[in-house]
Structure 1
Amino acid sequence: MAAKPRDRVCLGTIAAAHGVRGEVKIRTFTATPEAIGDYGPLELEDGSRAFAVERRRPAEGGVIAKLAGIDDRNGAESLRGQMLYVPRSRLPEPEEEDEYYLADLIGLQAVRPTGERLGEVVAVENFGAGDLLEIERPGAAATVYVPFTREAVPEVDIAGGKVVVDLFEGLE
């Protein structure tokens, strides 16, 4: 069964307030950090609020942005940790064969090259050293992280609802 595409895609998360005039630091998940404002207003995860990006400038790990309606540090601080989404319909379709929205990987079945089921991709994380697929294994107490590299994940089949994971020794 193929995974259903998500209606919204997370483009970033508000990491911190910046200054006293309502700017925020956004950790972006876009290919180019400044592109976060190119797809229209950014919505909070619960959909309760949306913010146009009035201006942005590059910063380490993302951008410093001024969001419409956030005019002081208190307002900016209140958004710390919030994930920012846009409707998927505003985003272009991936152009390359091996290009994906990370949201599309969540829910895919993880299988060995032999076809044996390993579990389900429940998240894509990046702790600073590259993207990792978090796989929940049936009956296991903990999830396992697999580097999202061509060597570790040689095949991604969004339409088929699976990723092929070539496990390294010690990851089993």
Structure 2
Amino acid sequence: MTVEDCYQLGYIVKPHGLKGEVQVLLDVDFPEEYRTLESVFVQQGQQLVPFFISAISLNADKAIMSFEDTDTLEMAQALKGAALYLPLSTLPEREEGDFYFHELVGLDLIDANNNDSLVGVVENVFEAGPQTLLSVKHTTEKEILIPLVDELIKVIDKENNQLHMFIPAGLVDVFLED
């Protein structure tokens, strides 16, 4: 299993107690959907290592997890800061019109305000404080950042590999100036 085949569930914040338990921050929309997890992949270096969960307790977006074969404070301390992953195939189904960020990567960004012209290809989606941004490789090879706001999305056309957005006038030009 590779990181490309997975999505990040969250990360281990710190040890909890003396018996190897860890506190986990779940970076998902609906943490309660993960109440019955049996296993996760823990990133250790460049590898994803499967860890089997023996107990999990949820409180909002935080969880206390116990892993099989991790039963000391020292073992839990070694996991501090590690990212947790699950296979993409385990993502819950989305309602019509909803999407996961990873589904936007690789789509052609089309400007619905500019005669449906090609802006570039979405390379990444990331959160910068309260703002979610698309990192787009413009047709000139420059990186441009576009705010990902529901009101700006016209349509996500997965069949044609396109994301049509109403991009505010002048925004792209700001990134193209030298």
Provide TM-score, normalisation by structure 1: 0.74
**Alignment match, 1:149:** 149
The 5 A counterparts of 1:110-129 are 110-113=109-112, 114-129=115-130
Q: Which has the higher strand share?
A: 2
- Structure with bigger helix share is 2
Residue of 16, 21, 30 corresponding to 1:19:
16
TM-superposed CA distance for 1:37, in Å, is: 4.3
Question: What is residue 3 of structure 1 aligned with on the other side?
Answer: none
Kindly provide the amino acid, as one letter, of the partner of residue 163 in structure 1.
L
**Partners of 2:51 and 2:33 in 1: CA distance:** 17
Corresponding residue of 1:83: 83
Q: Partners of 2:31 and 2:54 in 1: how far apart?
A: 13
TM-score by length of 2: 0.72
Partner of 1:64: 63
The answer to whether the aligner puts 1:133 opposite 2:134 as a matched pair is yes
Query: Which amino acid in structure 1 is aligned with residue 25 of structure 2?
Result: R
Kept in 1, the 8 Å contact 2:110–2:118? The answer is yes
Unaligned regions of 5+ residues in structure 1, if any?
Answer: 1-5
Match of 2:40 among 39, 42, 52: 42
* Inter-CA distance 34–25: structure 2 relative to 1 (3 Å threshold): farther
Q: Return closer, same or farther for 1:111/1:25 CA change in 2, 3 Å cut-off.
A: farther
Change (3 A) 1:154 1:167: same
AA aligned opposite 1:17: K
Matching residue's letter, 1:19:
H
Higher Rg of the two aligned structures = 2
Task: Tell which deviates more after alignment, 108-117 or 18-27.
Answer: 18-27
Instruction: Tell me, in whole angstroms, the C-alpha distance in 1 between the residues paired with 2:149 and 2:163.
Output: 12
Cα RMSD (Å) of the superposition?
2.7
Query: Alignment partner of 2:168: what SS?
Result: coil
